Amino acid sequence: MDVDYKIQQIYKNNGGLLILREASKQGISKYDFYSFVEENGLERIGRGVYSSADVWLDAMLLIHLRSEQAIFSHETALFLHDMTDRETFIYSVTVKTGYNPHRLKEDGIKVYTIKEELHELGLSEAITPFGHLVPVYDKERTLCDILRNRKNVDKQILQDALKSYSKRQDKDLRRLMGYAETFRVKSILKPYLEVLL
């Protein structure tokens, strides 16, 4: 298969984004990659990520591409799980303790840190409004994160999220209570659940 065709397929499959990491995994050299970028007048929109000027960019996908370990969390996860009617203009992600998030913070992204052993607990995927799959914490982990950070979260957002969760057919109360114990928010969560369920 011809290299140009392979690069074109990556570009097409990613909705007009060309990603160096993905091209490298398919055996495409940096020379061929950057030649394609130059020949097609693509613009750098992130580290190792290029696009043409006429492509509508999915900010959530770009955040994921820039930092593979960043997992959408808190208010952003509520939005992705359809547990709030407020669209977030500042995205929230969680990374492992020790990761240097300065680039993400410079771009106005709210960054939370967590111990490595808890980083992937509740890891799931959700579809962005642009139709791309991105990593996000599941509904139960998201509620626990919101409860842990309740002093910095609008009380109405917390109440709406809990109400929304209580009405869902796909809720998993056993998982929620397990996470609540792990994150030490069980005593805070119980009164809410007693009222809602």
Q: Which of 29, 39, 34, 32 is nearest to 49 (CA)?
A: 34
Q: Of 47 and 106, which is predicted with more confidence?
A: 106
pLDDT band with cut points at 50, 70 and 90 for residue 110: very high
Whole-angstrom Cα distance, residue 101 to residue 72?
14
d(CA 36, CA 98): 36
Give the residues across from 127 on adjacent strands.
Answer: 133
Q: Which residues pair with 93 in a beta bridge?
A: 72, 111
Give the model's confidence band at 15: pLDDT under 50 very low, under 70 low, under 90 confident, else very high.
Answer: confident
pLDDT at 5: 87
What pLDDT band is residue 137 in, cutting at 50, 70 and 90? very high
Q: In 27-122, where does DSSP find H-type helix?
A: 30-39, 59-66, 74-80, 102-106, 116-119
Do 122 and 37 belong together in one domain?
no
Same-domain check for residues 41 and 71: no
* Structural domain that includes position 11: 3-57
Tens-digit pLDDT profile for residues 50-82: 888 777 888 898 888 888 899 999 999 999 999
- Chain Cα centroid distance, residue 111: 11
Same domain (yes/no): 183, 147:
yes
**Number of domains present in the structure of the chain:** 2
Q: 176 and 81 share a domain?
A: yes
Q: Residue 1: what pLDDT?
A: 56
**Residues 76, 141 share a domain:** yes
Count of alpha carbons within 13 Å of 13, Cβ hemisphere only? 10
Q: How far apart are CA 188 and CA 195, in angstroms?
A: 12
Over the chain, what is the mean pLDDT? 90
- Which of residues 182 and 196 earns the better pLDDT score? 182
Q: Are residues 47 and 86 in the same domain?
A: no
Which of the four pLDDT bands, split at 50, 70 and 90, describes residue 195?
A: confident
Is residue 182 in a domain?
A: yes
Least reliable range by pLDDT among 47-51, 138-142, 160-164, 185-189: 47-51
* Cα dihedral sign, 180-150-159-71: negative
**Is 32 found in the same domain as 93?**
no
Is residue 42 domain-shared with residue 77, that is, in the same domain?
no
Q: Is residue 23 part of a domain?
A: yes
142 within 8 A of 176, measured Cβ to Cβ: no
pTM passes above 0.85: no
- pLDDT cut 70: percent of the chain above it: 99
C-alpha span between 178 and 163 (Å, rounded):
19
Question: Which tokens sit at 29?
Answer: 């050299």
